[in-house]
A and B are shown apart, each in its own frame.
Chain A
Amino acid sequence: MPDQSHVGRRYSAPGQRIAPDAAARVAAAIAGPDPVAEPGAVPPTFAAVYCLAPTFAQLFNDPEVGIDLAGLIHGDQSFEWPEPVQVGDVVDAATEIVGVDVKRGMTFVRLAMEAVRPADRAVVCRGTALMIMRATA
């Protein structure tokens, strides 16, 4: 179970390529039955793929933190995109545990993430996420 001692742990995923086909698949999935709103563009929430997925996977597999996926809820999410990311960009993603609180039997893990494009040092995405773990028997 996560606790205060895990604050400061950082998970890095350098070299995430913004692949056009991967961005297009996410755009199509967001559009569902409707036409894709901006064909060829990278959906802003594609950050889930180039920033959250590769870093969260490390967090979820960190045996010392011990996150139980079965009881995990995504409580909130914020994103800022200081510079729009482009197809073909390569970015370095990282996520850090910045807070752990236990309230009413639930564990609240606050994460901060950032994705930087090393080619020009531009921050293409930063944000925070709250993961809530319900108590398990």
Chain B
Amino acid sequence: VTALAVSTVTVGDTVTPLSRRVTQEQIQAYADAAGDHNPIHIDANFARSVGLPGTIAHGMLELGILAEAISTWAGGSANLRSLSCRFSKPLQAGATIICTGTVVAVDASEGIATLDVGASSDRGDRVLTNGRATVRLSR
């Protein structure tokens, strides 16, 4: 795993946006893999009964895709030091998530870059907001 060099990272740098259509099949696969079978993710009738338009992706699945986008930019997931966000709007099954990130600070002495990160959907919703990540850089 090769971290980005401090000298190559500057404020304003952006993560290559990652777009991924999240199908019901993928949500089901995540439910099985993570052991989270909350019916809002896998039962459309139940989801509608609690006021959702249909089944929605797990927030942790969305966060996993965001983590992938940042990790790819950072030279590997071992360089991802922290990640946080608010799950502001649900991502409906079949929608495409678009993950983004922008460097907002570089601490050369600590070898850490801080990024504003987030995700929107192709339906126009900002699904992950107030996102912040830190990544390890090499010196």
Contacts and interface: CB of A to CB of B under 8 A. Distances in A.
A71 B50 contact: yes
Contacts of A64: none
Contacts of A22: 33
Contact of B87 (A25, A44, A76): A76
A37 B18 CA distance: 12
Contacts of B21: 32-33
Contacts of B50: 70-71
B84 A79 contact: yes
B29 interface: yes
A53 interface: yes
B34 A53 contact: yes
Nearest to B29: A29
Contacts of A25: 29, 32-33
Nearest to B51: A134
A78 B76 CA distance: 19
B34 A48 contact: yes
Contacts of B81: 80-82
Contacts of B60: 45, 48, 52, 74, 77
Interface of A: 22, 25-26, 28-34, 37-38, 41-45, 48-49, 52-53, 69-82, 84, 127
